[in-house]
A and B are shown apart, each in its own frame.
Chain A
């Protein structure tokens, strides 16, 4: 479960996240959508404990992140948008290091690491330095590391970037299965088709605020958009160039 109450983040006079309140129960896959710079990544990084909120509170799996960060973080798996790993560690060593960060070691965690690497077809690369991995391979390694300690909550920022179709499909299935087994997933994506197909509920963020939230049907009724697709809803809520304006751009 994730609970955000009046979550705010300011950088000087600029407000990146402006009083977001949101509850994501167990067993739900929640999508966070919004244009670039809307505050999605900042929100996710605050939930992951990487950024400190200016105001508001965050509870992960019922634990307050500010008062007991260690316990809250041990329930969380975070997958960032940019897959930065230690170049001079092998894939296997990286997983062992991450397990160590969660206080886990021994044969069981080694086995789980191998299973995850096999699932993402990284096992043949287990003993290669990650500096020789492609972007997609690094992304898959980070996903494996986020699942290694069996989290209750997964926060995933742009999960499909760099993944091949097979791995993207695998990740989609994994996240759905994780939610079906009672886990909580908060996912941000720019691929609206994926959000529409995967998410139970969606929030659209703009200028640091949630401008609409709910199931697809609820979003449609909130915006009086009939049977509009998510893309149409998104453009309607966030604004976008019309066909005429685009033609003008190329004619200039």
Chain B
């Protein structure tokens, strides 16, 4: 790469040349995908359309309500937009940190690009663009229905999409530049592969902190104006930006100015000038630090392997297993805990669980008054539903990718006399047992907080065990049926088509269980509230048997299908 200050040599590659293989590849994948799986594309479009419609619907209703509130309606809408954009900015910054490491330092095309006579500024801009697209597309898709609702409710007119585009482009660019500069600095201090572990940890810890912070500051208080001393105080709180130097405030002001017909180009000017300045600063950092950083990123990482004593204890604990299963379990555990990109997400998970338990505890159910049985039923089922959904999400993240992660090593597993059942068995229990412990833990703690009656506690525990065993099998089976062998990042695998199908299947199973249990449980709760003796009536036993059969089928069928698919799988 030419790092001199002279103009690029005639004929040298520009930004579009560097990015051409990417977008051509993308178009080819689209064409291939269209030929290969029309039903898959249709399902994705349907789900995407459904999601957009839902987001638009909720945003529309909320904004319509805000608009109807005299004096403070538009202020509330503006505040909501600012808070939303601030959350998006935080997500974008984290996303850019991780993406920039891949695009600038770990991508497969870097050797070729660095060796080619590509001028540094084109290289920087091309990679910045690539980082921008990869890190921001999901947020961009999320923003579309929200801003559409703003445009519709506040009469943005036909030019509003252009204003939104002009606002969002610099808004997305800023975290991209900041993220890539932070990554550049980190890579110059740590080798890239270490930096990835570090970044994942930093990013997730920040995210976890943010989630906890948002929960603990109780944002729902903002929605209760009666908590303020006067209307003027409330309006003042709404008017005040959370910080005048935050780009999310500029972006929301730019959009609201257009919607409220306020002629003030300053927010837009601030956004564009800051984005421009940041790109210049980012480019100067890149020019000075990229080559040393890239060189450093080629160094191998000497990761820690943990304590030998811990390993031998684990080996001793698993000594009762047949050798192949034992070695598989040990291998899966070591690989999982040594890869920070895998286990660091447990931090986020733990935070979400704390927030969940905190929310259950904060429910105003037992404040002295007698609670109607409908509320208790609703809350108990909501708890079961939410707990089930959390379990499905965890299974999607940790069990669903487990076969895909074997992708590059499949040659070894297929060429050895490995009993495929032993592999599935190991992956099933390594994933499902911790999930079961977690599920029972959450279920028991939250049910105690909800003062659930003993029969409900028992029913919930049995249901949780059945559902967890089934959801673990579903995740593993679907992971085998829809493998993603090319993916190097485990966190991306659940977002694939197969991951989506698994989530739909898991949620459908959950809904079916709740439907089966709903009527007998409601009757039982009503009797309990009325002070009747509550045993285990036939209807409840029947429901539990039905749940058991459904869950057994949902456990056995995916594992059998997975085993058959695994036997036919070619590496």
The answer to whether residues A129 and B303 also contact, given A50-B410, A84-B409, A98-B412 and a CB cut-off of 8 A, is yes
Interface residue tally on B, bucketed by range: 20 to 34
Complex contact B415–A88 (CB within 8 A):
no
Residues of chain A lying within 8 A (CB to CB) of residue B415: 48-50, 73, 76, 78
A211 CB to nearest B CB, Å? 26
CB-contact partner of B408 in A84, A127, A128, A129, under 8 A: A84
The interface residues of chain B lying within 8 Å CB-to-CB of A84 are 408-409, 411-412
Residues of B close to A78: CB separation below 8 A? 411, 415
When distances are taken between beta carbons in the complex, the residues of chain A under 8 Å from B409 are 84-86
B419 within 8 A of A: yes
Cβ distance B48 to chain A, nearest Cβ, rounded Å: 30
Cβ–Cβ < 8 Å partners of A89 in chain B:
331, 334-335
State how many angstroms separate the Cβ of B423 from the closest Cβ of chain A: 9
Interface stretch (choices B287-295, B322-330, B347-355): B322-330
Contact assessment for A90 and B305 in the assembled complex, using a CB-CB cutoff below 8 Å: yes
Across-interface contacts of A48 in B (CB, < 8 A): 411, 414-415
**B300: CB under 8 A from chain A?**
yes
Chain A proximity of B265: nearest CB distance (Å): 52
Q: Is the interface of B mostly helix, strand, loop or mixed?
A: helix
Residue of A nearest to B342 (CB): A88
Query: Across the two chains, which residue of chain A brings its CB closest to B422?
Result: A101
Q: Is the CB of B327 within 8 A of A96?
A: yes
Q: Decide if A97 touches B568 in the complex (CB within 8 Å).
A: no
Q: How large is the interface on A (under 10, 10 to 19, 20 to 34, 35 or more residues)?
A: 35 or more
Pick the most buried of B302, B324, B412, B570: most chain A CB atoms within 10 A of its CB.
B412
A15 in the interface (beta carbon within 8 A): no
Q: Judge whether A36 is part of the interface by a CB distance below 8 angstroms.
A: no
Q: Is the CB of A100 within 8 A of B419?
A: no
Q: How many Å from the CB of B233 to the closest CB on chain A?
A: 56
Residues of A within 8 A of B570 (CB): 50-52
From known contacts A129-B302, A129-B305, A131-B193, infer whether A101 and B411 are also in contact, taking CB-CB under 8 Å: no
Q: Is A165 an interface residue (CB 8 A)?
A: no
User: C-beta contact mask, A47-64 vs B, less than 8 Å → 1, else 0?
Assistant: 011111000000000000
- Residues A49 and B331 in contact, CB atoms below 8 Å apart: no
**B347, chain A: closest CB distance, angstroms:** 19
Flag whether A74 is at the interface (Cβ < 8 A): yes
Q: Within the complex, which residue of B193, B302, B327, B571 is in contact with A100, where a contact is CB–CB below 8 Å?
A: B327
> B109 in the interface, Cβ–Cβ < 8 Å?
no
Minimum Cβ distance to chain B for residue A98 (Å) = 7
Q: Is A240 an interface residue, CB under 8 A from the partner?
A: no
State whether B417 touches A73 (Cβ < 8 A): yes
Q: Assess whether B193 is in contact with A70, with CB atoms less than 8 Å apart.
A: no
The digit string for A95-135, where 1 denotes a CB below 8 A from any CB of B, is: 01111111111000000000000000000000111011110
B338 touches A74 (CB 8 A): no
Q: B542 on the interface (CB 8 Å rule)? A: no
B414: nearest chain-A partner, CB-CB: A50
Determine whether A80 belongs to the interface, using a CB cutoff of 8 Å to chain B. yes
The 9 closest A-B pairs by CB, nearest first: A100-B327, A132-B300, A48-B415, A84-B408, A101-B416, A88-B338, A78-B415, A73-B417, A74-B417
